[in-house]
Structure 1
Amino acid sequence: METINWLEIEAAKNAAVEVLIHNSDGPFHGLPRTAGWGYPEPYTRDLMFSILGIAVSGNQQLIESIRKVLLTLAKNQTVHGHITSLVHDKDDRGASDTTPLFLMGVGIFRKLTGENEFLEEAVQKSLTWMVYQSPSDRIMVAQQPTSDWRDEQWVLGYGLFVNTIVYSYLRLLGQDERADQMCKEMKRFTIEDMPKHKYEGLKVKSKPYYAFWSYKVYCSKRFDLLGNSIAILSGLVSVSKAEEIITWIEEECSQMQEKGDLAINIPPNFFPFVLPGDADWHPRYESFNMPGNYHNGGIWPFICGFYVAALVAAKRYRLAEQKLMELTKLVRLSQDKALKFGFNEWIKAQDGKVMGVDWQTWSAALYLYAATCVKERKTPFFDEMRG
């Protein structure tokens, strides 16, 4: 097994900060850009995720850039409390994850700065918006397909990822009673597994992890690495259940490597892949989501950063070090061979080829966060939730 190389990790962390500083002043009202090249726009979800890496960097320039993002989002908030998909464009609406990510981002920023009332009016409006996102008046929220970060993949109804963000912001904002209730709701079985329940949840009877999504008589039991990693980080699963999930992930990835479906020793964002002819295959996937590509099993460095942090949360420190080294190799890959570190958007699972754009903000930020978690054996902002 590879020994952790802190000199190499420090070099990657320095490069990540360089990327974030480069991206912190973009062409749209001086707001951060989503990537050094290819995505000059300030996408809300990307920048909200980046708060985790920026917060642990301690870099005041980056922290102030995120303050500007949050203030602009609040300014462009809709009358009903919804947060736009582009920070600067008040008319770009419809995402299911931007409002919960904004609430999580404000919660992290408050703890970072000690400004406990920061954007309180906007927070209250967004909390009201989120209450109305449950068709059954539950704590869990539902969504339309392609409305979260998976804008080329169907997530119908109660999606795991969005609901883990909701749970996280409830804890960060001190709404513990609602968070406790949500935890109970999510731990109900899917209707498919337990039809006696009046309301479905996201627990899967035959697997240790949470379902990808569930809504009434339908569900997907494919594995979502991001959603399950945040579930581990936030304490939605116990330490023993987290251990079961991690063991399952590593065993499945070993089998994928043996079959030639995985070329790198780090998990894809989603598996098993959706194949042409499967019931959940859509014709548009032919262009955007072939097996092992993009949302359908591509390897995303920012999600791998969450997985590394989840390993730390589960006290799998040795495995976390190993996966951090694998992630360090991954963030070196680039489209532009002149770059020492590419922090690319996503990588094809079967051959490890870089497929996205270089200097992606969330790839750099979540690398910083993951490296900090491994070094400190803590998961900043999530430790308190699990406690």
Structure 2
Amino acid sequence: MKTNYEKEIEQAKKAALEVLLHNAHGPFHGLPRTAGWGYPEPYTRDQMISILGIAVSNNQELIKSIRNVLETLARNQTEHGHIPSLVHDKDDRGASDTTPLFLLAAGIFRKVSGEADFLAEAVEKALVWMSYQSPSDRFLVAQLPTSDWRDEQWVIGYGLYVNTLVYSYLRILGEHESAEKMRHAMSRFTVTGGTMHQHVHEGLVVKHKPYYAFWSYKIFSSERFDLLGNSLAILSGIASPKRADEMISWIEEECAGMHERGELTGALPPNFFPFIKPEDPDWHERYSKYNNPGDYHNGGIWPFICGFYIAALVAAKRYKLAAEKLEALTQCSKLSASGNQHFGFNEWIKAQNGKPLGQDWQTWSASMYLYAAKCVEEKRTPFFDEIRNK
């Protein structure tokens, strides 16, 4: 007989699949919607991330849909290899994470379909584009502010999240020599003391901390914690097993402290902390409208990122904690901004009070729930096991 916990997970998985099937056909050339109602457009990064849950669902309608997305992106790729931010709009350009996500998703789809040369020409063009994104020509790629998924938050230079994507696609596409050089570059310390000596190259390791820096560039860096980037560092194997275990313990301890200070409710970690506050030097005036402490990119709880964290816990063999977080994510997935859904799969949750403030039936929230559940059930991380073990 199934426990109540198991029954709730089965109900949530069924609801997540319903969301993905509902969103599979939208008003723009029949491409998938980003959310059930609020975002009818097919945003590239959301669709590429959703491939993880779609792939483990084995639902042929969804797999056919994601094939269409990838093939449409290949047709709308720029002359130089860049992938647009909207699947259907070749002129919507400028994102730093769409091309890496396309390459990772193409690698995953090759595993799912068995087509080893799927979109070979587009993949090669995208690899060339990415090879020119390193200002120092030394493996780490750089970005402009608000160009990745954090469109309301500044990441300058070598951002952790984008570089973990680059490492992951290099591994899944078999570019192991380049991947190893990149991992070595990321393992350098960030530059401190305000002086950058000749032949010293910045990295993303933070002194006396188990996690990786939010971003780094020359003598500047941010040591705030990025849950998505660090979860990908664990999943992909950039972080050693020892570092991964220490990082997870640190995350849980920091979250306990935020609970005590009234900055966090519930059992799920925020996407980013410590929160940027108006008195901090990295505060921007626009944040007061869109990105207040504990909101949106500035410390909101994002279910899709919690899905990556749960997968990272499985990768680190923290199975009990992963099961506990999956139970918390199951309860979180019920939250609905409209109040009309039994399972809202909302976009993001306010850290301090647990209120859903994003769009309901968000594609990547539903997809990453399915992926996290699969990881916990099977004690493995599909696709990333292979990446990590290379």
Q: 1:229 is aligned with what amino acid?
A: S
> 1:35-83 CA deviation, whole Å, 9 max, x = no partner?
0011000000000000000000000000000000000000000000000
Looking at structure 2, the residues matched to 51 and 123 of structure 1 have their Cα atoms a distance apart, in angstroms, of 17
Q: Residue 298 of structure 2 aligns with which residue? A: 296
Distance in 2, matches of 1:229 and 1:261, equals 21
Deviations 1:84-103 (A, max 9, x none): 00000000000000000000
C-alpha deviation, 1:337, in angstroms: 1.8
Alignment-derived partner of residue 73 in structure 1: 73
Tell me by how many angstroms 1:338 deviates: 2.2
What is the CA distance between 1:336 and its match in structure 2?
Answer: 2.2
* Aligned residue number for residue 146 of structure 1: 146
Q: Residue 250 of structure 2: SS of its match in structure 1?
A: helix
Q: Secondary structure at the match of 2:188?
A: coil
Q: What does residue range 52-71 of structure 1 map to in structure 2 within 5 Å?
A: 52-71=52-71
Q: Does 1:19 align with 2:16?
A: no
Cα distance change, pair 4–259 in 1 and its aligned pair in 2 (3 A): farther
Q: Kindly provide the CA deviation profile for residues 229-254 of structure 1, in whole angstroms up to 9, marking residues without a partner as x.
A: 00000000111110000000000000
SS of 1:214's equivalent in the other structure is: strand
Aligned to 1:199: 201
Residues 157, 213 of structure 1: 8 Å contact kept? yes
Number of the residue aligned with 1:157? 157
Q: CA deviation at 1:109?
A: 0.3
CA distance in 2 between partners of 1:190 and 1:339 (Å): 45
**Which residue of the partner structure matches residue 266 of structure 1?**
268
Alpha-carbon distance, 1:5 to partner = 1.2
Q: Which amino acid is the alignment partner of residue 348 of structure 2?
A: W
Contact residue 26 and residue 32 of structure 1 kept, 8 A: yes
Quote the residue 1:379 is aligned against: 381
Residue number in structure 2 paired with 1:349: 351
CA distance in 1, matches of 2:267, 2:196: 38
State which of 308, 325, 328 in structure 2 corresponds to 1:326.
Answer: 328
Query: Shift in Å at residue 4 of structure 1?
Result: 7.8
Gap regions ≥5 residues in structure 2:
none
SS of the residue aligned with 2:50?
A: helix
Aligned AA (2:192)? E
- Mapping of 1:106-121 within 5 angstroms? 106-121=106-121
The aligned length equals 385
Q: Contact (CA 8 Å) 1:4, 1:321: kept in 2 or not?
A: no
Counterparts of 2:349 and 2:119, CA distance in 1: 37
Correspondences of 1:185-334 after superposition (within 5 Å):
185-192=185-192, 195=196, 198-334=200-336
Secondary structure of 2:116's counterpart equals: coil
Give the superposition deviation at 1:177: 0.3
What is the rounded CA distance, in whole Å, between the counterparts of 1:192 and 1:18 in structure 2? 49
Asked if structure 2 preserves the Cα contact closer than 8 Å seen for 1:33 and 1:41, the reply is yes
Verify the 8 A CA contact 1:4 1:322 in the aligned structure 2: no
Which residue of structure 2 lines up, in the alignment, with residue 82 of structure 1?
Answer: 82
Partner deviation per Cα, 1:109-141 (whole Å, 9 max, x = no partner): 001111000000000000000000000002110
Partner of 2:365: 363
Please tell me the root mean square deviation across aligned C-alpha atoms, in Å. 1.0
Secondary structure of 1:66's match?
Answer: helix
Alignment gaps of 5+ in structure 1: none
Percent identity between the two aligned chains: 69
TM-score (norm 1): 0.98
Matched, 1:122 2:122: yes
Q: Distance in 2 between matches of 1:98 and 1:363?
A: 18
Counterpart of 2:304 in structure 1: which amino acid?
F
Query: Is this contact kept in 1: 2:196–2:218, CA < 8 A?
Result: no
- TM-score relative to the length of structure 2: 0.97
SS in 2 for 1:246: helix
- Is the CA contact (8 Å cut-off) linking 2:227 and 2:305 kept in structure 1? yes
Q: More displaced, 333-342 or 105-114? A: 333-342
